Structure 1
Amino acid sequence: MDETVRLMHYDPRWRQEFEQTRSGVLQSCRGWVVDVRHIGSTAVGGMIARPILDVVAAVQDEGDVEQALAESADLIEGLNYLRGETPMWAAETIVLNKPRRGEPTHRVFLTYLDSPFWRSSLAVRDALQSDRSLSLRFEETKVARWRDAGGDPQQYADDKSVFFAHLIEHHL
């Protein structure tokens, strides 16, 4: 992911892309994955976003979670995903990317049901979906950080993570 960050206006097809991704992950994981949710800016109608469909997929938090995560990750790789680097803010996940000429088009954050990542990613999504003024502030911040970073992926991610930390601390 050394390419320049691209942002684009909301694409209503992202909802259908999510449904297809959700179906594929659930079917391929043969019961290991029990829930798949659309997260990130592509899940917020009308928001400018990176054209990367982010989903969080969860295995049951019972029994051998490590085995469930490993088995599920292997099965998701069979859907043309590659394991990616797990960012510090998603420590309890396995990240899988579906690449297309460099930048991924889809990203699955595989975790266990009700993990801290599961809860926070859904809470952020829900807050942005339900509070238009908050989503507009986030969008303005995101575009400003993108400009300031000159499209640099690492700088953009670092700057955006500050906003998420503030959002989680003060609004959720």
Structure 2
Amino acid sequence: MGEEQGAGQAPVERDPAIRIVEYEPGWPAEAARELERVGAVLEDVAVRLDHVGSTAVPGLAAKPIVDLQVSVAALQPQSSYVEPLEALGYLFVPFATSPEYLFFGRPSERPRTHHLHVCVAGSFEEHRHLAFRDLLRADPAAAARYEAVKRESARLHPEDRVAYMAGKEGVIREIEALALGRS
């Protein structure tokens, strides 16, 4: 896979085309299998394991990447979960945008089938992901709006992951505000 690098920046993988696919009824079972694998290697540090993101919302179209969340008591020492997750084929992405959670992708090269977020149990990040998922599960209108924005952003930015994500940012913030106000 090709990489690009600017002065003083970490290498950035070239993105495969962004695809939004119809909801796959097998996603929850795949998430459960993967959470079992992850839980087995993180049994000493995982406080909570969750299926989050669009693939956790029945009926919602999504990128075919299962999002998982592992809640831990503390993000340090990272070796307590980075090494076991790498042994399962996850790539640790240390330059994620938030210092409050860590990000992993599997397999290590794109296209990825799984994204895994590690956050502190009881943290805002843990709560935000769960509240967002739960609101989309409970509110079909919000889920439909989010799906429409995702599809449009993927159509406009099929090979630019940063622009695709920026295109969704407004609706994500609106839904998060609703979700966090309800929880």
Quickly say closer, same or farther: Cα 1:98–1:171, change in 2 above 3 A. Answer: closer
| Alignment RMSD | 1.7
Tell me which residue corresponds to 1:15.
28
- TM-score, normalised to structure 1, is 0.89
Amino acid in structure 2 at the alignment position of 1:54: D
Q: CA deviation at 1:158?
A: 1.5
Matched, 1:71 2:80: yes
**Structure 1, residues 33-75: CA drift from partner, whole Å, max 9, x if none?**
12110111100111110000001101125xxx412x4311211
Which residue in 2 is equivalent to 1:38? 51
Displacement of 1:85 in angstroms is 5.1
Task: State whether residues 93 and 105 of structure 2, in contact with CA within 8 Å, keep that contact through their aligned partners in structure 1.
Answer: yes
- Distance verdict in 2 for CA 1:85–1:104, change over 3 Å: farther
Matched, 1:28 2:41: yes
CA distance in 1, matches of 2:96, 2:136: 22
Indicate if the aligned counterparts of 1:92 and 1:111 stay in contact, CA closer than 8 A. Answer: yes
Residues of 2 paired with 1:85 and 1:162: CA distance? Answer: 25
Structure 1 distance, partners of 2:166, 2:107, is 22
Q: Which has the higher contact order (CA 8 A, sep 6+)?
A: 1
CA distance in 1, matches of 2:79, 2:64: 27
**Aligned residue runs from structure 1 range 70-89, under 5 A:** 70-84=79-93, 86-88=95-97
Q: Corresponding residue for 1:111?
A: 119
What is the rounded CA distance, in whole Å, between the counterparts of 1:107 and 1:53 in structure 2? Answer: 6
* Deviating 4+ runs (over 6 angstroms): none
Query: Which residue of 1 is the match for residue 140 of structure 2?
Result: 132
Is the Cα–Cα contact under 8 Å of residues 10 and 45 in structure 1 kept in the other structure?
yes
Matched, 1:160 2:176: no
| Equivalent residues, number | 167
Which structure shows the higher helix fraction?
Answer: 1
| Match in the other structure for 1:55 | 68
